[in-house]
Structure 1
Amino acid sequence: MRRVPRQVPPFDTRSPFFRYEALAAGLTDVDLRGERFRRIFQGIYVNFSTPVDVRTRARAALRVMPSGSHISHCTAVELWGGVSPDSSQTHISVVSGSVRSVRQGIKSHLALPGAAIVALGGMPVASPTQAFLELATMGASLVDLVIAGDSLVKSANVGPEDFVSAAKQWRGRGARLARRAARLVRPGVDSPMETRLRLLVVFAGLPEPRINWIIRNDEGGWRLRFDLAYPELKLIIEYDGRQHADSDRQWLRDIGRREELDEMGWRIIVVTSQGIYSEPDATLKRIQKALVERGAVGVPRRLSSEWTRHFSQ
């Protein structure tokens, strides 16, 4: 019986490939160092037309690591569309007993027991809640962990209760941090700075504001929406990233919106990045004073010092 030759798939440089694969396909080291290709990690390349983004790096890392590995930690959060702590490395977890390949730009971890892994874009990736737990095990700050959770609720079709449940079941490293952070995750958060501002308020012992409060017109339609609000006090806390500072149209729109709020009896406190990173104490005093002036009940006269453990003074 004549043997049928095995069909070898064509060499596709648009996906990450090893140097030895390129040489076997007829390319040379001179080709790989030229303008047609880019190196992702040591010994791994891709066609210049392929963007070297988080997905491409993740695919390349999986080719390096042993079978059974999965994309994890910060990289998994990013693949789900969330916001992770800053990391220049691609994070991947391997099963116990595997031989890890060491390459600059790749951070390898041992997979957590019972890790929840799902397929995402054809890759094995930690589930959103699993990635959340992985961040806790690597010592992410409480604020960064809540930011990750808030962003994943928005981008990955999970709810705060999913994080609470996963953290409750976890008994390993970072369990206490994960449980605390999970209880602070909220739906409807639009940005990391909104999370930071809310946590600053909460850690100071002030009442937690409502998120993305919508002011409606007489017909019940959408009129105005704000980041954080105490609707019963008609008090709004708004983060202003100043991305529209140079836009006359946006500036005029903001003026009109604030005049409209004045007519309805609402007060707005605008907080910029400086008020969170450089002057958090002053920001808290502004909010505390406004709460008292608007008639809030139970506002502490002395702020909790917990906020100082998470925000610079």
Structure 2
Amino acid sequence: MTFDPTVPFTRAEALAAGLTPATLAGPRYRRLFHAVYVARGPIGVHQRGAGALRVCPPGAFLSHATAAALWGGVAPDTSETHVTVPPDSHRSKRQGIVAHQADGVRPVRHRGLPVSSPTRAFVEVASTSRNLIELVVLGDSLVAARRTTPGELVEAADTYTGRGAHLARRAAALVRPGVDSPTETRLRLLIVLGGLPEPEVNRIVRHDDGAWRRRFDLSYPGHRLIVEYDGRQHVDVRAQWAADLKRREELERDGWTLVVITGADLFGDPEGTLERIRRALADRGCRTPRRAPAQWYRLFAPINRAAA
């Protein structure tokens, strides 16, 4: 085969193609893992995955968070590449590669690589993560990427019996279609796990003739209440600021109440944010609990926004 340095290759392949150790160590190439290289350029999850498979035994495939990211999901942040190998194979101990063993799992091909299916990747992440929120974020994002459905994730979690099965079932039950971003998922979970009624996701309001009018991120149509995340740090364009004011006035004329949540609210003051939404619901006639369940405080302890 013709040597193509834009595709991950091993040190042995490079030497056989006439490259020298000095050339590999130079500016034209980048080391992905021990004895695995690629031509210098942007490095993404696909190239790292392809590089990891170059040093894995036959039958290996990309799995867990790596497979989830390849499918377009928002996977837990990690610098490691996850692979799964047959149970009778050796597991690579190279730095940057995490090798798992599994039997009876049939990978599929995606973007030219063998990978876990989207639903399989979801339960695999559950086996290595203890974070309910990040697992629901993954599920929501896989659904948004049209790789699976909430029902398929529930079915996969119900039939999964490995480590993290309970977490997988709980997270799958919380996945919803139509979610636009991880922050929207986090805000919805802050509300629901806090004991408040579940809001409707991305409700579309239309004119009398059926034409699209506006969309609400999270809303309670029966109580005419909208909960909206605004990730902007400040309004840069005066025209946008004026449009926001006009939109709010229109909503108020139509009888809607708008609760705007910022990043500082969501990540810096989750308890105060939950209380604002609770009071807004109570003002609209909805009976709500006075205090969130104990687990909510462990999940939503204030965190550094930049890290989030």
Category of TM-score, reference length = shorter chain: over 0.9
Which runs of structure 2 are paired with 1:239-258 in the superposition (5 Å)? 239-242=229-232, 245-258=235-248
Question: How far apart, CA to CA, are the structure 2 residues paired with 1:244 and 1:20?
Answer: 54
Q: Which residue in the other structure is 1:218 paired with?
A: 208
Maintained 8 Å contact 1:116/1:130: no
Maintained 8 Å contact 2:83/2:98: yes
Pairs aligned (count): 302
- Letter paired with 1:93: T
**Quick one: which of 67, 85, 91 aligns to 1:100?**
91
* Structure 1 unaligned regions, length at least 5: 1-8
Q: Alignment partner of 1:64: what SS?
A: coil
Q: Alignment partner of 2:301: what SS?
A: coil
- Higher mean Cα deviation, 141-150 or 32-41? 32-41
Q: Which residue in the other structure is 1:150 paired with?
A: 140
Which runs of structure 2 are paired with 1:61-140 in the superposition (5 Å)? 61-111=52-102, 113-140=103-130
Q: Which residue in the other structure is 1:53 paired with?
A: 44
Which runs of structure 2 are paired with 1:228-239 in the superposition (5 Å)? 228-239=218-229
* Structure 2 unaligned regions, length at least 5: 303-308
Which runs of structure 2 are paired with 1:154-303 in the superposition (5 Å)? 154-242=144-232, 245-296=235-286, 298-303=287-292
Which runs of structure 2 are paired with 1:38-49 in the superposition (5 Å)? 38-49=30-41
- Letter paired with 1:152: L
Q: Alignment partner of 2:173: what SS?
A: helix
**Quick one: which of 28, 33, 43 aligns to 2:20?**
28
Q: Taking structure 1 as the reference length, what is the TM-score of the superposition? A: 0.92
- Cα deviation for residue 140 of structure 1 reads 3.5
Maintained 8 Å contact 1:82/1:151: yes
Q: Which residue in the other structure is 1:311 paired with?
A: 300
Deviations along 1:105-159, whole A, 9 cap, x unmatched?
1111122x43242110111111111011101111331111111001001114311
Deviations along 1:252-304, whole A, 9 cap, x unmatched?
322222122122111110111222222111111111111011122x3223433
User: Which structure 1 residue ranges, 4+ long, deviate > 3 Å from structure 2?
Assistant: none
Q: Alignment partner of 2:93: what SS?
A: coil
- Cα deviation for residue 244 of structure 1 reads 6.5
Question: How far apart, CA to CA, are the structure 2 residues paired with 1:79 and 1:244?
Answer: 33
Maintained 8 Å contact 1:54/1:79: yes
Maintained 8 Å contact 1:204/1:305: no
Q: Alignment partner of 1:55: what SS?
A: helix
Q: Taking structure 2 as the reference length, what is the TM-score of the superposition? A: 0.94
Maintained 8 Å contact 2:91/2:100: no
- Letter paired with 1:96: P
- Cα deviation for residue 43 of structure 1 reads 1.1
**Quick one: which of 4, 12, 16 aligns to 2:4?**
12
- Cα deviation for residue 243 of structure 1 reads 6.1
Q: Which residue in the other structure is 1:5 paired with?
A: none
RMSD of aligned C-alpha atoms?
A: 1.5
- For the structure 1 residues 20 and 274, does the alpha-carbon distance in structure 2 shift closer, same or farther, using more than 3 Å as the test? same
Q: Alignment partner of 1:260: what SS?
A: helix
- Letter paired with 1:196: R
Q: Alignment partner of 2:228: what SS?
A: strand
Q: Which residue in the other structure is 2:306 paired with?
A: none
